[in-house]
Amino acid sequence: MNVKNKLPEIFETFSNQRRESFIVVHDLKEKGIPVVGLFCTYLPVELIMAMGAIPVSLCSTSDETIPDAEKDLPRNLCPLIKSSYGFAKTDKCPYFYFSDLVVGETTCDGKKKMYEYLANYKDVYVMELPNRQTEDGLYLFKKELIRFQKKLEEKFGVEIKEEQIREAIRLKNRERIALKRFYSLMKKNPVPIKGEEIYQVLYGASFQFDKEKEIADLHMLCDKIEKEYEEGKKLEDRPRILITGSPISGGAMKVVRAIEENGGVVVCFENCSGAKNIENLVDEEEKDVYEALAKRYLAIGCSCMSPNPSRYDLLGRLIEEYQVDAVVDVVLQACHTYNVETLGIKRFVKEKYHIPYMTIETDYSSGDIGQLNTRMMAFIEML
């Protein structure tokens, strides 16, 4: 059954949100509302929201501008970095164009060096990120958040008050709760919809700037899907796959399609745009608001952390909660930290949970789609 055709119109709204929000950002700029572009889930967007600005993701996920980027950057660089730089250089990304400030972070060496060139096109601020989740790391990161707040205040001529930050924390937490309720629908067995449709909403939600409307729409969507599920509208039983690893939006979504077009279903995304960035809330009771933000964000389990226990903790919990049959680890080419971690993740999955594991190394091009389908067909048949 094609469940998607039975879903409310708001489902398509989320799917198309990134494209439709180009005009929204333009209108916001016309009203004098600042726009801050960002690249990473480690950036506490609550500080941006607290000053009344719009945070928007700039990570590009298409190979369209990579040839332009490769005129300045090495060909063997991560496609996400090249795509991000290419869209900025060619002025083909409306969000970059409308950004008053672009914020980078030191998650990887390739990004750090790319930001130096990116500064030729925009005002770029780089936030230092500790690579260890320790007390010392927390202390350094907290200082970075305060430094970033001062940058915002100086750049935009505003004063960001503590209560404004707390209001932003409460709103962002409510959004995370709504998003988690939505993707938790995939705990059902069999599932109500495809994983690609889940991801379209998760990705599209980041480009919904009216957070109150987004939260209401998410709960409305959940209510609708749950009601239809009770009426029998669900997919047939399929092997349940969890995806982990590098960001997979845009061109890398071909991996999800290869899984679902060959008999599987992606029930959970551990990646940056999935559970990794949504599961944990900021502690609203913490007296020190910067301590609360630093603790929540530094706990994200990205491969730039060494060691990286948070990734294993979350991955194990998701495998159990979503009744996962196999894990697919997606690694973007030249994403060295995620590539190195594949050995540890493979051992963790196979030795602790005794389920199949596969690593996929890819980029944003369509050149390996045939190979992906062949590999996925064999992998899912084995399940």
Q: Can you give the C-alpha Rg of the chain in angstroms?
A: 20
Greatest C-alpha distance within the chain: 60
CB atoms within 10 A of CB 3: 17
pLDDT in tens, 265-310: 999 999 998 999 999 999 999 999 999 999 999 999 999 999 999 9
DSSP category for residue 34 = -
> Using CA atoms, how far apart are residues 4 and 210, in angstroms rounded to an integer?
25
pLDDT in tens, 304-347: 999 999 999 999 999 999 999 999 999 999 999 999 999 999 99
Residue 150: exposed, middle, or buried by beta-carbon count in 10 A (0-12, 13-18, 19+)? exposed
Classify 125 as helix, strand or coil: strand
Which alpha helices (H) appear in 99-248, and where do they start and end? 109-118, 135-156, 162-183, 195-205, 211-230
Predicted TM-score (pTM) of the model is 0.93
pLDDT in tens, 162-220: 999 999 999 999 999 999 999 999 999 999 999 999 999 998 898 899 999 999 999 99
Residues 6+ apart with CB under 8 A from 201: 11, 14, 15, 182, 218, 221
What DSSP string runs through 89-119? HHT--HHHHH-SEEEEE-S-HHHHHHHHHHT
Tell me if 37 sits within 8 A of 123, measured CB to CB.
Answer: no
DSSP category for residue 280 = P
Which band of pLDDT confidence, cut at 50, 70 and 90, is reported for residue 8?
Answer: very low
> Using CA atoms, how far apart are residues 181 and 160, in angstroms rounded to an integer?
31
What is the reported pLDDT for 6?
42
Counts of helices then strands in the chain (DSSP H, E): 16, 8
